[in-house]
Chains A and B, each alone.
Chain A
Amino acid sequence: MTNEEIQARITEVLCELFELDSADVTPEARLYEDLDIDSIDAVDLIVELKTMTDGKKIDPEDFKSVRTVADVITAIEKLMNN
Chain B
Amino acid sequence: MRLGKYWRFSATFFCFFIFGLGGMILPLIVRPLLWLFVRNALQRQRVGKQMVHYCFRIFVEIMQLLGVIRYQVIGAENLAKTGQLILANHPTLIDVVLLIAFVKNADCVVKESLFKNPATFGAITMAGYITNDSPAKMLDKVARSLQQGNNVIIFPEGTRTTANEPLKLKRGAANIALTSKSDITPVIINCSPPALSKEHRWYEAVNERVNLSIDIRNSIDISEFSQSERTSHSSRKLTRYLEWYFSEALSLY
Contact = CB atoms under 8 A, between A and B. Distances in A.
Contacts of A38: 135, 170-172
State the majority secondary structure of interface residues on A. helix
Nearest to B178: A40
Contacts of A8: none
A43 B232 CA distance: 9
Interface in B114-168: 134-136, 139
Contact of A44 (B134, B135, B139, B232): B232
A44 B136 contact: no
A19 B236 contact: yes
A40 B230 contact: no
B235 A40 contact: yes
Contacts of A41: 171, 232
Nearest to A45: B232
Overall SS of chain B's interface: helix
Q: How large is the interface on B (under 10, 10 to 19, 20 to 34, 35 or more residues)?
A: 10 to 19
B181 interface: no
Interface string A30-65: 000000001111011000000000000000000000
**How many A residues touch the partner, as a band?**
under 10
A44 B136 CA distance: 12
B233 A19 contact: yes
A40 B175 contact: yes
A80 interface: no
B231 interface: yes
A24 to B, nearest CB: 15
Contacts of B134: 39
A69 to B, nearest CB: 16
A40 B236 contact: no
B1 to A, nearest CB: 48
A19 B135 CA distance: 21
Contacts of A17: 230, 232-233
Nearest to A18: B232
Interface in B26-56: none
A44 B236 CA distance: 13
A40 B233 contact: no
B233 to A, nearest CB: 7
Given A18-B232, A38-B172, A39-B134, 19 more contacts: A17-B230, A17-B232, A17-B233, A19-B233, A19-B236, A38-B170, A38-B171, A39-B135, A39-B136, A40-B139, A40-B171, A40-B172, A40-B175, A40-B231, A41-B171, A41-B232, A43-B136, A44-B231, A44-B232
Interface of B: 134-136, 139, 170-172, 175, 230-233, 235-236
The 9 A-B residue pairs with the shortest CB-CB distance in the complex, in nearest-first order? A39-B135, A44-B232, A40-B175, A17-B232, A41-B232, A18-B232, A40-B135, A19-B236, A38-B171
